[in-house]
Structure 1
Amino acid sequence: MNRDGASLLRRAGAWLFLLLVVSLALGCTRAPSQRFNLQSLKVTGNSQLEDAEIEERIASRETPRFLGLFPGVIYDYEIFNRFVLERDLQRIERLYRSRGYYEAHARAAHVYRDGAKVRVEIVVEEGQPVLLRRVDVHGLEKLPPALRAEARSAVLSEMPLEEPLEEEKLDTASKALARMLGDSGYAQAVVQKSADVNLPKRTAAAGFWVNAGQPSELGEVTLQGLQDLPEPKVRQALALEPGMAYSQSELDEAERALLDLGVFASVEIEPQVDKATPGPNGKPRVPILVKVEKAKLRSIHVGGGALVDALQSDAHLTFGWENQSFLGGMRKLQFQVQPGVVFYPTRFPTFQAPTKLLPKATFRTEFRQPGFITGRTNLVLRGQVRAGPVLWPGDASDKVPIIGYFDNRVSAGLERTFRRLYTYVSHNVQVNVPFYYYKPSDGENPSLGLVWVSYPALTTTLDLRDDPIHPHKGLYLGNELEVAGVGGDARDIKIQPEARVYLPVSKRVTLASRVGIGLLFAQNYGETVESNSLTRQPPAGYEANNDEKWIHDIQVMFMRGLFAGGSGSNRGYSLREIGPHGRVPFYNYGQSTAGQNCAAADADPSVCSLPLGGFTLWEASVELRFPLVGDLAGNLFADAADVSARRVDFRFRPHLSVGFGFRYDTPVGPIRLDLGYRVPGLQAPADAPDERKPKDGPFGVPVALSFGIGESY
């Protein structure tokens, strides 16, 4: 089996290499005859604007290189045109003026020719900026004092004094002022802006003139483009009625509510301000036109993928079906089936040839009923059945069984969004049933059995980011609260809050940070964890070998305990690799009955040092994200985390990892590849008996490789 697996890998590698060579050959292009191709374009002297900002505004483009090395492969050659270059110099100067640098000049300092290749160097002389010294807002006299102060604050927050005068900020401040008035009911507000520049003194003054009009109300709400969708359900989600106080934020919230229904490809809510008429109380009533475009309601999804990390290698297929208006009423029903196979024990970094193929599969379904109880409250029913192996880091051994679980989950809940605050209240039931993929000659452990938990949960998030997929600035707060004990084998309270902050370093570079904690207060389980992690034995009152109560305690901790490590946690470690480790009897059943001494210095970690889960968790991370080429981006990161076997025990064991990674943008989100290096001296103490030393990567370097879809946070 080992020899066959190695042969299979060699054949696959040969076919992939041949496919790559053929693709490169077919993708080669020729340089145009009697014309010059632009080999490189370099901008120097620009300290205030990034190269990428300038390159976005000009028409000249250097010839792209496949994999950063080969010009004319896959991509066409870019042509050098001196007339286009002259216009580009003007575009650069115009860009600088829009950023407050009115004295900036751009010139083509060098144009090098080498046969049909041209290299161009543009030199920018930025000069001194024009600084904003004064900002005035006129026309606020008839507004309440609090509203006047809020208006001035809205402008100054976008245009701080003693900063360069930027045209974009002038426009942004005007829109922020108009929006603030719109949120306060002034639908007819008009804002005009202007700026006076004194070039000799390099100073500027900005002015805004406001005609607020009268506080308005909502008028008749007209829907356009519904086709056969039920209008009452749409109006229920819209929640806009004639006579309500006008608010631009409320209109935006209504637009998000319609998009959340999942049946519209686009939604536009247009206030018809020019058609406003007096209402019964004399206030202007603004008609609202809601334009919708119906989306495709039924779809089938087919795909596949592969995974290689420190735990396993697998390949899988994905089949999905969804109906956005099941039985009418805009009810959503979807199914997904994902069969796959795990190549055991192939994993990073050893890449052993597979000796066993472990089948796995996942089935998921979800049903959503919009407008449940209230117009913007959704009923959500979810179900999942998953069968797959539970694998741990370390070398494979014929002495260790391969155990899998049927992980069955169902939940029912209500979700509601209040502007940027999302809330989801649910009740969840999880049933885990173990089975054996492989068991040694010693046989299986008879004490290993079904475990189930039942718990209500409250999930809340406050999302103040500018973009949920590629956040550049903003704040994200989240919390998960679970209370187990409504039936099941566990009684506990679990709380996991987190905060994320995103700061723009420049227009395309982002500094992201995250901090989170976890607290688990178990009432009827977990008392074996600390003793097990320190001595590899259970506490008094438990049998040392195959006590059914001890095994049950470990199984419940697998389901409810706190773990750290992996692509969404600390990227210098594998999944669940940080925290208390100890002996798991059903992974060394035969050896336990034979008197295996897991406290010995030469004890096999694959059977004597497995993750147990903990009660106190903290995680912190900081990451610098920056673009590279096209849809490819890079990042530098530092991650720290710790999990303790004690309750409310925040220790300084940082398990610090630093590293770098790459992101490639796809329609389903960024695909991540991160390499984390565990910093020596900032891990768990070498003599800590409760943790396991992670296995080093290639050449003995303490690294871990992780994959993922979407940003790490």
Structure 2
Amino acid sequence: MFKIFLIISILFLNSLANDIKTIEYKGDIDLVLGDFSKSNLDAICGFSYPEIYKIWKKNPTFTSKDIENCSELLKEYLQSLGFYRAKIDYEIKNDIATINIFRNEAIKVSSIKVEDEYKKFVNFTKDEVFISSKFSESKKNIRKYLNENGYAKADINAKAYVNLDEYKVELIYIITKNKLQYFGDINIQNSANLTQELLQKHIEFKKGDIYNSRLLDKTYENLYNFGIYKTIIVEPNFNSNSDFIPVNIKLEEGFFKENSFGFGYDTDKKFRFKAQHKNENFLGDLKQFTVGTKVNSEGYELYNNIFDPYFIKDNISLNNDISYENMDYTSYSQKKIENKLTFSKEIFTLPNSVGFLAEHSTIKSDLKEYKSGTYLLNSLFYEIKLDRRDDSLNPKDGYFLSFYIEDGSKFIGSEYDYLKTVSDLKYIKTFDNLTASFKTKIGTLDRDLPIFKHFFAGGAYSNRGYAYEKVGVKDSDDNPYGGLSMIDSSLEFEYNIYKNIGIVTFFDSTMLSLESNNFNDKFYNSFGFGARYYTPIGPFRVDFGFPKDDGGFVFHIGIGQVF
């Protein structure tokens, strides 16, 4: 029995001795960023560690076999970057493995043979370090160019001759275009309730056109944006001996009816709940029907939307929104029925919208100067947008412009004649790990209106030095009046410190005036700092805002981009 216990103890101690807890890289490495940074070398070897904030998770341990495999992977990686004479060794002491990397001289390109037509796709020059991924990319670029210009059956014979004795690389590209190709028959299999005419309008090519792979990609994108297919196949048939290439399109309908539920919290509206049903192909041809409710700590909203993207021919859409809300705001409570009918059309790639807005509101005002009562405001509106951001959910580069004008008139049953305008500007630019963002909203009303039509500012998505809607003049009970003229601006700098984590500093400035078309009133300024953690549904935000003219600070949390 003692011998068995001794053997088990020795095996257990040996297993502990083989556990490697720390891996160090030495030699020709990068300290923080670069191809030879620790994080990149770990990724090459398949070593992963828990994210910083996951303090409850333990770091992994490794074996000597893991280190041996890592050294082989690093050797292949170095060769792919041109370091064919690189040396890698390692040593293991106690629970620490040290991997030594010596790059030595990189192999270089000695000659390039390629026709003039394709030189722009070969990103090498003589005496440049040979990187295998760049060579593969050059072949892909040539193939893409030929496919987009009708030569889908071209032959590409590209070789990289590596001479280790003379330590040089010769690149030779031999391209034979063969015959020009054309689109042939288009065969469509479609299981969804869409007319053939509608599908044809979103296919970017027709029989007899010169073959262009870019048009296949655009067709796939068009069909994907329908949002109702679980399978989309746009496949050219190159097996044909003809110069006309048939294209098979297979479309299999997926689930286009969706029930969704969501919970959330932010410092503006506190706890939030949302329930929604959406039909993405209501009565066919991509008409949409949506019904749902939103609930927060201040009240609730019921809403319904009907959207027809092809209401008139194929370029004018119809959007009808009906909603009812029962909500408490900072200076009033409101029960409102709203109907917004919108017709939209793209003109020179810019979305243009016109429509009719009806608002029937019963107001209980907390301000003595503004009466409680029931109001009916009817208006016609127009809106134009220019969106050149790289991502609407989490933009890192680009800009957004919009202009909205709303004309209320007694001629169409409104209790008041009025004119409202709102202009929006957002600009985002990223420099490596630093993102600079700026936004401003300018709004004006040409006359005083019931309190629910005023502009308000302050909160997690506005001036962060103030609580929700608390910017501007207030009465003795701290109820804000809002304004008839507004400039609400923010400037923010975000630095990405680690993967999905960023820190920010910001300056917010807001002008609210109780006079129409007055943009020279008092500005309420604030500054602050915060943090961001990026999720698939947008960044989780924490901000601390400090008003310049008041003491203390305001804390904000929420999900979604300020810009």
In the TM superposition, residue 635 of structure 1 has moved relative to its aligned partner by 0.6
User: Please, which of 372, 378, 382 is the counterpart of residue 321 of structure 2?
Assistant: 382
Shift in Å at residue 378 of structure 1? 4.7
Cα separation, partners in 2 of 1:244 and 1:461, compared to 1, 3 Å: farther
Q: Equivalences for 1:163-202 in 2 at 5 Å?
A: 165-195=130-160
Q: Distance in 1 between matches of 2:468 and 2:114?
A: 56
Matches within 5 A, 1:669-684: 669-676=537-544, 678=546
Whole-Å separation in 2 of the counterparts to 1:162 and 1:520? 59
2:552 aligned to which of 680, 687, 696: 696
User: Counterpart amino acid of 1:255?
Assistant: Y
> Whole-Å Cα distance in 1 between the matches of residues 488 and 495 of structure 2?
24
In structure 2, do the counterparts of structure 1 residues 407 and 52 end up closer, same or farther at CA, with 3 Å as the change threshold?
farther
SS state of the match for residue 255, structure 1?
Answer: helix
3-state secondary structure, aligned to 2:388: strand
8 Å Cα contact 2:339-2:358 kept in structure 1: yes
Taking the TM superposition and a 5 Å limit, the aligned residue runs for 1:292-311 are 292-301=251-260, 303-309=261-267, 311=268
CA deviation vs aligned residue, 1:512-559 (integer Å, no higher than 9, x gap): 33334444465x33xxxxxxxxxxxxxxxxxxxxxxxx5x2765332x
Counterpart position of 1:46? 30
Question: SS of the counterpart of 2:208?
Answer: coil
Q: Secondary structure at the match of 1:321?
A: strand
Is 1:410 equivalent to 2:367 in the alignment? no
Report the residue type matching 1:606 in the other structure: D
2:531 corresponds in structure 1 to 661
Distance 1:132 1:577 in 2: 65
Are the structure 2 counterparts of residues 231 and 276 from structure 1 closer, same or farther at C-alpha, using a change threshold of 3 Å?
farther
Matched, 1:286 2:245: yes
Report sequence identity in percent.
12
The TM-score, its normalising length taken from structure 1, stands at 0.63
Q: Kindly provide the amino acid, as one letter, of the partner of residue 219 in structure 2.
A: A
- Give matches, 1:584-599, under 5 Å: 588=475
Number of equivalences: 537
Amino acid at match of 2:94: Y
Mapped pair 1:490 → 2:412? no
Change (3 A) 1:110 1:228: same
In the alignment, the residues of structure 1 paired with residue 443 and residue 228 of structure 2 have an alpha-carbon distance, to the nearest angstrom, of 40
SS for the counterpart of 1:91 is helix
Q: Secondary structure at the match of 2:94?
A: strand
CA drift of 1:81 comes to 2.4
User: Equivalents in 2 of 1:676, 1:131: separation in Å?
Assistant: 53
* Separation in 1, partners of 2:370, 2:178: 80
1:296 to partner: Cα distance = 0.9
CA distance in 1: counterparts of 2:314 and 2:552, whole angstroms:
55
Trace 1:75-94 onto structure 2 (pairs within 5 A).
78=60, 80-94=62-76
- 2:251 maps to a residue whose letter is V
Kept in 2: contact 1:46–1:125 (CA 8 A): no
3-state SS of 1:92 partner:
helix
Q: What is the letter of the counterpart of residue 313 of structure 1?
A: K
1:68 aligns with 2:54: yes
User: What SS does the aligned partner of 1:361 have?
Assistant: strand
Shift of residue 69 of structure 1?
Answer: 2.8
Contact 2:320/2:340 (<8 A) preserved: yes
2:136 is paired with a residue whose SS is: helix
- 1:87 is displaced (CA, Å) by 0.8
Match of 1:423 in 2: 351
Alpha carbons of structure 1 residues 468 and 285: separation in structure 2 relative to 1, 3 Å: farther
Q: What residue is the counterpart of 1:25 in the other structure?
A: none
Instruction: Find the aligned partners of 2:110 and 2:228 in 1 and give their Cα distance.
Output: 50
Which among 533, 558, 561 is matched to residue 707 of structure 1?
558
RMSD of Structure 2 on Structure 1 (CA): 4.4
CA spacing shift, 1:182–1:413, aligned 2, 3 Å:
farther
Q: Which is richer in strand?
A: 2
| Corresponding residue to 1:582 among 452, 458, 473 | 473
2:44 to 57, 76, 79: 57
Q: Which runs of 5+ in 2 are unaligned?
A: 1-11
Match of 2:81 in 1: 99
Q: How does 1:613-628 map to 2 (within 5 A)?
A: 614-628=485-499
Report the equivalent of 2:381.
Answer: 455
Residues 327 and 124 (structure 1), Cα distance of their counterparts in 2 relative to 1, 3 Å cut: same
* Change in CA separation of 1:411 and 1:127 when aligned onto 2, cut-off 3 Å: farther
SS of the equivalent of 1:674 reads strand
Match of 2:8 in 1: none
Q: Is the 8 A contact 1:137 1:207 kept in 2?
A: yes
CA distance in 1, matches of 2:466, 2:126: 47
SS of the counterpart of 1:238?
coil
SS in structure 1 opposite 2:218? helix
- Alignment equivalent of 1:319, drawn from 260, 265, 275: 275
Aligned to 1:242: 207
Deviations 1:331-387, CA, capped at 9 Å, x for gaps:
2212222234x1xxxxxxxxxxxxxxx4x1122333333444455765443333333
Equivalent of residue 185 in structure 2, options 220, 231, 238:
220
Secondary structure of the residue that 2:418 maps to in structure 1? coil
Counterpart residue identity of residue 363, structure 2 = F
Question: Does the CA-based 8 Å contact 1:662-1:673 persist in structure 2?
Answer: yes
1-structure distance, mates of 2:197, 2:102: 62
CA contact (8 A) 2:360 2:377 kept: yes
